[in-house]
Amino acid sequence: MIDTRKITMKKENQEYLWKLRHSCEHVLTQAMHRLYGADKVVMAMGPATDDGFYFDFEVKGVKISEENFPAIEAEMQKIIAEALPIVRKEIEVAAARELFKDNPYKQEWLDEIETAKQGATVYWIGDQFVDLCKGPHVDNTNEIKAFKLLSVAGAYWRGDEHNQMLVRVYGTAFPSEKELKDYLFMREEALKRDHKKLGKELDLFTFSNLVGAGLPLWTPKGTLIRNLLDEYVWQLRKAKGYEKVTIPHITKRDLYETSGHWAKYENDLFKINTREGHEFAMKPMNCPHHTQIYNHVPRSYKDLPQRYAETTMVYRDEQTGELSGLSRVRCITQDDAHVFCRESQLNDEMLAIWDIIETFYKATGFPKLAVRLSLHDPAKMENYLGNEEDWQKWEDGLRNLAKSKGVEYTEEQGEAAFYGPKIDFMAYDSIGREWQVATIQADRNMPKNFDLFCINEKSEEERIVMVHAAIMGSIERFMSILIEHHYGAFPVWLAPVQAVILPINDSHLAYAEEIGAQAKEMGLRVAIADSNESLSKKIRTAQMEKVPYMLVVGNKEVEDKVVAVRKRGEKEQSIVSAEEFWQNLKQQVDNKS
């Protein structure tokens, strides 16, 4: 399913939207049962999502496709018009087992509920339909005002390719027809811009069944863009005093047990057992390794800040059903950096990172970022390291930092990392979708866990603070956002081919090669369309490849030593000397304009 945007609204409205979609998902299932029978469309599971909802069914003896949607939607409208109450009931697990005795998927959920020694919760719609569900839901089906079924896909039960293949029906729901209409328009735009489609058309990356799902393979063009982005981040960091470090891709579990990551993320790790009986893990993050670089020698306060930067892959055992192009993968390239500093240096270090973020996103086409303070949830302190008093103090520090920048910001409870609050930067793409991109995280817990300190002016051990700084975060995910934001038409400095020279026929090829060589000597990326195709075909190819500039050369251009320049997206041509054009192009690249 295409991601559109994260709905930005008041928390209570967002919670209601979630309930509305969850309820619509149950209405979908009830309609499927009415139309095809519960024995032929066996309900498995389905959640509400940021974009709508989906539900997975085991289908027997019938075919479910988008051609069925009008009939299913009509039946859903009948259920909504019947104004059926949606009622929550708590029952014993034994009673739930009897209620869903013919459904192996519900029985599996009940196994987990029973193991956790919990009671079962069911929701009834009227007196004819019931599902095992935690909720919450709206009170009545007539609260569902606007919905739409979107697509059908295959999905393995619980995302495991060894399990039964199910039919997944996607849909969405909104409180009003206008919101639904706006969403559907945006969805159509998102489909056009889908990075999976554009990535193939522009030859940027590919996937292989032999390599595995969630493991992208980057072509020369895609690798070029990745490297340009990473090199620019490094250029900005180097100017702020960062140094490069390198760490291995595996580690003993002891490292993550000390950091606290093992207890929290054990099920997300790729584990390796050696023949000597040691247990290792493919690294899912880099920060614990970097603590060991800091701690390998005694540190004086005069040595601080220590600023480490590294672009490297980390690995997470994501479920197959949750993978999506570059947006969610199993190998994640992080442009990671960590600063080890004193509390008195913290604000300056965080502001320096803030400067890097603003500069980078302006150059990549996101001139304005929104700021979100991601805070802990006081009602769920068991999810965090540290105590409530410390968290309140740390979060006040981030508020003061944001105020010192003079920016407006929002706050979101429950979005903090388990070791500390963070400043998240939100980008809005060209069709209005919101994406969380860069982040700055202040961490006092990991220095405590690893006993990181410096020797201060009084020759005493002073606990330090650790700053986590990601500019792109995941390069894969950022590339997916970048591709869709620009519709594949990258800024000149990032375009794999910055200009293509189009000789009208073979007699103009020598001149094309002559001026192409001039451009390459200046470090510009230029191609020559030297095929025997017509000029119009060459132009169409360059347009499809979204090359920023086309330079047509014919008899007149060869005679006058000029080029006829057409800019991407424009029909008009301008006549300039090749030298002047290359100088102007070089300036655009250098200025990242």
* Of residues 484, 408, 480, 473, the one with CA closest to residue 437: 473
Between CA 503 and CA 541 the distance in angstroms is: 14
For the stretch 114-142, what's the b/e string if a residue is b when 16 or more beta carbons lie within 10 angstroms of its beta carbon?
eeeeeebbbbbbeeebbbbbeeebbebbe
Are the beta carbons of 170 and 152 closer than 8 angstroms?
yes
Both tokens assigned to 30: 């009830």
Phi, psi of 224 (to 5 degrees): -60, -50
Both tokens assigned to 432: 């209005």
Between CA 83 and CA 399 the distance in angstroms is: 46
Both tokens assigned to 422: 């963070």
User: Which DSSP string do the residues of 281-329 spell out, in sequence order?
Assistant: EE-S-SHHHHHHHHTTS--BGGGPPEEEEEEEEEE----GGG-BTTTB-
Between CA 197 and CA 188 the distance in angstroms is: 14
Exposed, middle or buried, 457 (CB in 10 Å: 0-12/13-18/19+)? exposed
Q: Which residues are the active-site residues? A: 287, 316, 334, 336, 338, 422, 468
SS3 readout for 429-474? CCCCCEEEEEEEEEECHHHHHCCCEEECCCCCEEECEEEEEEEEEE
Are the beta carbons of 502 and 542 closer than 8 angstroms?
yes
DSSP state of 421: -
